[in-house]
Amino acid sequence: MKKEQRIADFFFELGTMRKLPRMHRQVLLTDDMSDNIASHSYRVAMIGWFLAKEEGVDPYKVVMMCLSHDLGEIRSNDHNWVHRRYVRVFEEQIAEEQLGTLPYTDLKDLYDEYENRETWEAVVAKDADLLDQILLLREYEWQGNREAAVWLHGKTGEDDTGHKHAEMLKTESAHKIAEVIYEKSPTEWWKNLWTSKRK
């Protein structure tokens, strides 16, 4: 197969990420069709860029890890924590056949580095993935999703205000941003932008 043919096939495969819903929809009791593997990966990449700047690591590597961290789910699909109890995914085989067959080894190398979590870039990229989940849970909580609130806070009762998801973060910058996310309204960003006047 010509190099250009393999690249084109990969681009078509990437396009299918937009059609793959994330499976936490089942256990979070939500029908948010805007949340798919592609939209998740995009925000994770942007978060990763900021965290890389804050942590003083290579932003290129972090962003590329963030963009590629769920590529295997194109072939295996996303699995929530219930599915994982019963489903075996051949992640190494997928990575080898999907990324190892590309004309450049960079993506496979970055995927392996991310999976091994032995570099600070890989740790930062994982924190970006977790921060996106915290943002999503906060958005759902704001809409009144009680299950999302349980996931976000680890609540056992209404008076519990723990930050359960933030406990998984490894970097100082991610912890600081998470604390703000827990307290901030998801709609506050546009409060000073709206106007009733047209230009």
Residue with tokens 């789910």: 73
Within 10 angstroms of residue 9's Cβ, the number of other Cβ atoms is 13
Read off the pLDDT of residues 13-55 as tens digits, 9 standing for 90 and up: 999 999 988 888 888 888 888 889 999 999 999 999 999 999 9
pLDDT of residue 156: 58
CATH of the domain spanning 3-187: 1.10.3210.10
Per-residue pLDDT band at 155 (split at 50, 70, 90): low
CB 66 within 8 A of CB 125: yes
Q: Report pLDDT for 30.
A: 86
The pLDDT assigned to 21 comes to 85
Q: Is a pLDDT exceeding 70 seen at residue 157?
A: no
For residue 70, give the 3-state DSSP assignment.
coil
Parse the chain into domains and list their residue ranges: 3-187
Burial of residue 195, with CB atoms counted within 10 A of its CB: 0-12 exposed, 13-18 middle, 19 or more buried: exposed
Average pLDDT of the segment spanning 145-150: 91
